[in-house]
Amino acid sequence: MLRRLQKKDLKTISIPFNIKSLFETEPNIDIELMDYDYVENAKEEDYISFATKLYATIGKDSHFMLAMYSNEMKDSRLLRKSFSFNLEGYVFSERIENIIVSLNDKYTVFLGLISIKTDEDFKTAVKFLFSGTYDSKNILIYSRESFDKFKIIDLLQNSLEQIKNRYGDIQKINLSMTLMSQYKKDIKVLYPYGGTDFGSFMIFMF
């Protein structure tokens, strides 16, 4: 069940930096949380159970898209030709679409988009969201209306935050939820946190 995130939650539950920054920047923003606890490492039935409950809550008459982004990388023709996101073990009914975003004349980042068309796609997407590090580089986007792919790409590009060192060099790239909230309009964003041996799946939705 989704519940509204409260200011007191910042002190009582584990909240990822991206969501905490969003909440501190926009204290009146409506952020909802759905979580699911499990024992030790997450098992297949845990992923399926959580995905089923999440879909029952928000899935009716909705359109979903899985979005991901890479680290910043030194640009080259070979990189542009050979890069691919690691989807080993995850099968979707639609192919991933890679988008190249040039950060400057030296570095680039890749965006990946997968349209989620079926219930099985949704379950696979939820498992993928929670299969890596606790604070992942993947989000799920949903809307009651059909997606305009080019607007989604613009949204993601506008939300890429370049974190630089004192010399002006890019140290890392972050998909900023604070920026995303400014550009997303009627689109909803689902931000995952936890998974694997964390003991809980957490989805923050705004």
Q: How far apart are CA 43 and CA 166, in angstroms?
A: 44
User: Residue 107 contacts by C-beta under 8 Å, 6 or more apart in sequence?
Assistant: 72, 73, 74, 75, 170
198: left (phi over 0), alpha (psi -120 to 50) or beta: alpha
Residue 197: pLDDT over 80: no
- pLDDT level of residue 9 (50, 70, 90 thresholds): confident
Whether 46 contacts 36, CB under 8 Å: yes
133 vs 107, higher pLDDT: 107
Q: What is the pLDDT of residues 11-43, one digit of tens each?
A: 788 888 899 999 889 988 999 999 999 888 889
Residue 102: pLDDT over 90: yes
Pairing of strands 73-74, 138-143: unpaired
Q: Can you read off the two tokens belonging to residue 163?
A: 């974190």
Instruction: Tell me what pLDDT residue 33 has.
Output: 93
Q: What is the pLDDT of residues 51-61, one digit of tens each?
A: 999 999 998 88
**CA end-to-end span of the chain, whole Å?**
15
Instruction: Tell me what pLDDT residue 133 has.
Output: 64
- 57-71, 86-100, 144-158, 192-206: which range is least confident on average? 192-206
Q: What is the pTM of this model?
A: 0.90
